[in-house]
A and B are shown apart, each in its own frame.
Chain A
């Protein structure tokens, strides 16, 4: 079965430190991969996507993600975290050949401590 997982409900990191938010997927094809961020009482905002090409994708607000096909992962990273990065982060996958939807993970709450 095709699925996407965010293994950590909560990630805490000190301001200025690097951050990683994990995402893994299970699929029998080539997926399209996305990261979204949600601030309190707001909808989801697009951060970045991987469709094809370079495995390292750069997105908004200094975030980047690396597509690792052998590990079926698409972890979100940032070299130096800001307090304002604190939010709920969602990984999403559109599996090639599937119907018309993105499948979202359950979300990871990132808290950056001052």
Chain B
């Protein structure tokens, strides 16, 4: 375990469903991130939160909605997804938003949209 826990590990959802991904860390980190990993593509940064405030949104479609209720928890709410949204969604945290000491990643949620 890295200290960053993601649930569920696997998720299959229809295009009309609403679901949420959860990320939790108790490392005392102040910044949290959502990344999308698709096969043979660079990791795509989706959202950055620092001290519970969203500080970056990399042109992500509105069908993805993040929520950071406190510095230990990060959610990604999903609705009306498309099959091309199927991917591994990775959560990461870092000491602060500068990322100087690197990130700690969770194991990811494997999402399949049918």
A contacts, CB < 8 Å to B: 9, 32, 34, 36, 41-46, 49, 51, 90, 94, 99-107
Indicate whether B61 reaches chain A with its CB closer than 8 angstroms. Answer: no
- Given known contacts A43-B4, A106-B40, A99 and B100 CB-to-CB distance under 8 angstroms: no
CB distance from A48 to the nearest CB of B (A): 9
B contacts, CB < 8 Å to A: 2, 4, 6, 9, 31, 33, 40-43, 45, 48, 50, 55-56, 90, 92, 97-108, 110
Residue in B9, B50, B56, B102 whose beta carbon sits within 8 Å of that of A49 in the complex: B102
Chain B residues, CB < 8 A from A100: 31, 48, 50, 55-56, 97-99
Contact of B102 with A101 in the complex, beta carbons under 8 Å: no
Contact of B108 with A42 in the complex, beta carbons under 8 Å: yes
User: What 5 pairs between A and B have smallest CB-CB spacing?
Assistant: A43-B105, A100-B97, A104-B43, A44-B105, A43-B107
